[in-house]
């Protein structure tokens, strides 16, 4: 039986031009962005095949919503994170939600995602490939090559990471002010 998890994104806000990276267009990021600003630019790429049309250093934010299961190896994830860092501006932010699935474990998760318009979107995440490591710890380690981790939360086999592109002014200001 699938585990059911609730994610409340009613207060999540993305600023500026947003790149939505996913392998299924479930409309969650679009709903979040349009609730904030009808004039903001949202580009959506469905998998790696559409990445050639994305402009480098253009996006203020990049959102990945349950997409890492598509990458079979650490090397492919690392390459993907490098490409994301190329797409976002110097002070850009990456928002990532995914399944905390270590190697050799499998499970099915049913998500109910609440967005600002009071809608509830239902998503099913199939984590059946036992050789894929989509764990929070593995993802954090790989991200740190190109991003500074700002926030990390993990609960009920779901994790959230907010990270800023390395070399940005904002994270340096935060560190230096302490």
pLDDT of residue 110: 93
pLDDT digits (tens, 9 = 90+) for 75-95: 999 999 999 999 999 999 999
Average pLDDT over residues 10-35: 78
When mean pLDDT is compared across 69-83, 99-113, 114-128, the lowest value belongs to 114-128
pTM of the entire structure?
0.86
pLDDT digits (tens, 9 = 90+) for 116-166: 877 888 989 888 999 999 999 999 999 999 999 999 999 999 999 999 999
Domains and CATH numbers, the chain: 3-177 (3.40.50.150)
Q: Which long-range contacts (CB under 8 A, 24 or more apart) does 150-159 make?
A: 150/93, 154/100, 156/3, 156/5, 157/3, 157/5, 157/99, 157/100, 157/101, 157/107, 157/109, 158/5, 158/7, 158/97, 158/98, 158/99, 158/100, 158/109, 158/111, 159/96, 159/97, 159/98, 159/99, 159/100
pLDDT tops 90 at residue 97: yes
pLDDT of residue 154: 97
């Amino acid at each position: 039986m699938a585990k059911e998890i609730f994610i409340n994104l009613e207060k999540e806000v993305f600023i500026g031009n947003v790149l939505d990276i996913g392998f299924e267009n479930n409309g969650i990021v679009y709903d979040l962005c349009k609730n904030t600003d009808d004039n903001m630019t949202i580009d959506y790429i469905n998998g790696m095949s559409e990445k050639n049309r994305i402009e480098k250093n253009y996006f203020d934010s990049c959102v990945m919503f349950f997409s890492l299961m598509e990458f079979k190896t650490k090397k492919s994830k690392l390459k993907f994170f490098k490409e994301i860092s190329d797409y976002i501006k110097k002070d850009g932010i990456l928002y990532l939600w995914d399944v905390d699935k270590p190697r050799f474990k499998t499970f099915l998760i049913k998500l109910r995602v609440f967005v600002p318009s009071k809608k509830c979107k239902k998503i099913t995440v199939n984590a059946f490939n036992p050789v894929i490591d989509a764990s929070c710890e593995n993802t954090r380690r790989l991200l740190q090559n190109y991003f500074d981790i700002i926030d990390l939360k993990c609960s009920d086999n779901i994790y959230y990471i907010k990270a800023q592109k390395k070399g940005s002014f904002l994270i340096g200001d935060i560190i230096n002010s302490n």
